Amino acid sequence: MSDTLSIEGREDLLARGYSRRNLGRVAAVLGAGLAFKATLRNAHARAMTALPAGQDVTKLVRIGSNECWTGPFPAAAKLGAEAVFHGNRYDPTGNMRTNLIKTFASTENMPEETVMPWGGSSDPLCRTIVTFCSPTRGLVTADPSYEAGWVTAEWLNIPLTKVPLDPQNGYKTDVRAMLKANPNAGVYYICNPNNPTGTVTPLEDITWLVENKPKDAIVLVDEAYIHFSDTPSALSLVREGKDVVVLRTFSKMFAMAGLRLGLSITRPDLHQKMMRYDGENQSYMLPIPAVACGTKSLTMHNDIEARKHEMIAARNMTFAHLQKRGISYIPSDANMFVIDWKRPAAPIKDAFLKEKILIGRSWPVWPNASRITVGSMAEMKAFCAALDRIITA
């Protein structure tokens, strides 16, 4: 399997302390984010085994996976559907990928050479960790936070340090504690807004980490949920030429999780390092319906704003209900939030499933808490009604 890595890539990995045995594992991660996919499959299998036999997932209120409650913006979906009819070509117009890059660059005021598209953001997430971490340069993240990086680190024997979110400080990612926990890490991962809490890390904190991190380390800012919040993007740090990689996905606000499209945005020399293991293939093998749909979505500013406010209305309604019921939750700036049940979350999740509502998972550090995705207003009303039946005390 490691045969698929370039000679330069193999030499680089060995020089940075990866074992020969791990070369095949790196190839699996880069090939298609396989380590992450295996985890996803496991998580999916776990979710499925929790379903009573014969239960049809499409009949459930699905507020467990941070998907959007509705489909892609109709005008964008139309272009995606039209692209299907030209699916005999790798790139029907010869410039679909370039057009995606140009469109993102112009909407975000970024140099085009900083933008790299992918079939989702999972590949560049894992790839950044492969490239800038090693058995001697660890990964530091908040806890709880999105786990794809954890899985990659564990898979490749990269030291992993998880720093608890700070309850005294609005559960925001504690960048100073992250640097203290491992002053020699290869990657500091900040999910902003954070999954699962939806809490934001101020740009000043991210900037502080960038200014104080060790030389050659990367601050990886995962902005999967940024369109749902008003927090400023770390793209400005990329523009300034800092050691920052920003990730964007089309799976959340743009409702394209099943279509697969994402972007990494960073300095060209850093992208070049990320590509040295397997060339640029993974960035060129893009599903054209996703490229057509995603490119149009980026320009639909009014629809983005309207969808954000639709989500906020459903979230506010739910929070008002939780407050009325005296149920503890963490205020969120994204399309998800955490409820602290003050007792084990697993039986509560099962009870919701009996009500045909699939809520999200718990993180090992908070076994009494569940992540809830904000669905449509109707879905959140169904959630609140079920909650009243389940939590009677």
Ligand X SMILES: Cc1ncc(COP(=O)(O)O)c(C=O)c1O
Which residues are at the interface with ligand X (CB under 6 A)?
Answer: 66, 120-122, 125, 146, 191, 195, 222, 224, 249, 251, 257, 262
* 122 class by beta-carbon count within 10 Å (0-12 exposed, 13-18 middle, 19+ buried): buried
Q: How far is the CB of 121 from ligand X (least distance, A)?
A: 4
CA distance 63 to 72: 17
C-alpha torsion sign, points 371, 376, 381, 385: negative
CB of 146 to ligand X, least distance (A): 4
Shortest Cβ 191–ligand X spacing (Å): 5
The rounded distance, in Å, linking the Cα atoms of 138 and 185 is 4
Minimum CB separation of residue 14 from ligand X in Å reads 29
User: Cα separation of 232 and 161, whole Å?
Assistant: 26
Q: Which residue has the tokens 């005296």?
A: 326
Judged by beta carbon, residue 83 or residue 263, the one nearer ligand X is 263
Q: Which residues contact 248 (CB under 8 A, 6 or more apart)?
A: 104, 121, 223, 224, 226, 262, 263, 264, 265
User: For residues 64 and 120, which CB has a smaller minimum distance to ligand X in the complex?
Assistant: 120
Taking the C-alpha atoms of residue 60 and residue 358, their distance in angstroms, rounded to an integer, is 7
Nearer of residues 33 and 138 to ligand X, judged by Cβ = 33
For ligand X, the closer CB: 336 or 357: 336
- The distance of closest approach from Cβ of residue 154 to ligand X in the complex, given in angstroms and rounded to an integer, is 17
- Closest CB 220 distance from ligand X, rounded Å: 10
Instruction: Put residue 47 in one of left, alpha, beta given phi > 0 → left and psi -120 to 50 → alpha.
Output: alpha
Give whichever of 57 and 320 is closer to ligand X, judged by the CB atom.
Answer: 57
Least distance from C-beta 152 to ligand X, angstroms?
Answer: 12
Write out the two tokens for 100.
């995606």
User: To the nearest 5 percent, what fractions of the chain are helix, strand and coil?
Assistant: 50, 15, 35
> Which residue lies nearer to ligand X by CB, 66 or 128?
66
Lookup: tokens for 148: 């794809």
Over the range 342-381, which residues count as b (16 or more CB within 10 Å of their CB) and which as e? Answer: eeebeebbebbbebebbbbbbbeebeebbbbbbbbbebbb
CB-nearer residue toward ligand X: 39 or 249: 249
Amino acid at 64: G
Nearer to ligand X, 10 or 252 (CB): 252
- Smallest gap from Cβ 354 to ligand X, in A, equals 26
The least CB distance from residue 232 to ligand X, in Å, is: 18
Minimum CB distance to ligand X smaller for 26 or for 224: 224
- Residue type at 183 in one-letter notation: P
- Nearest approach, Cβ of 139 to ligand X (angstroms)? 14
- Sign of the Cα torsion 26, 211, 168, 170 reads negative
114 vs 249 by CB, closer to ligand X: 249
How far from chain centre, in Å, is Cα 278?
23
Dihedral angle of Cα 112, 295, 232, 196, to the nearest 10 degrees: -120
Tokens of 6: 């370039």
CB atoms within 10 A of CB 233: 20
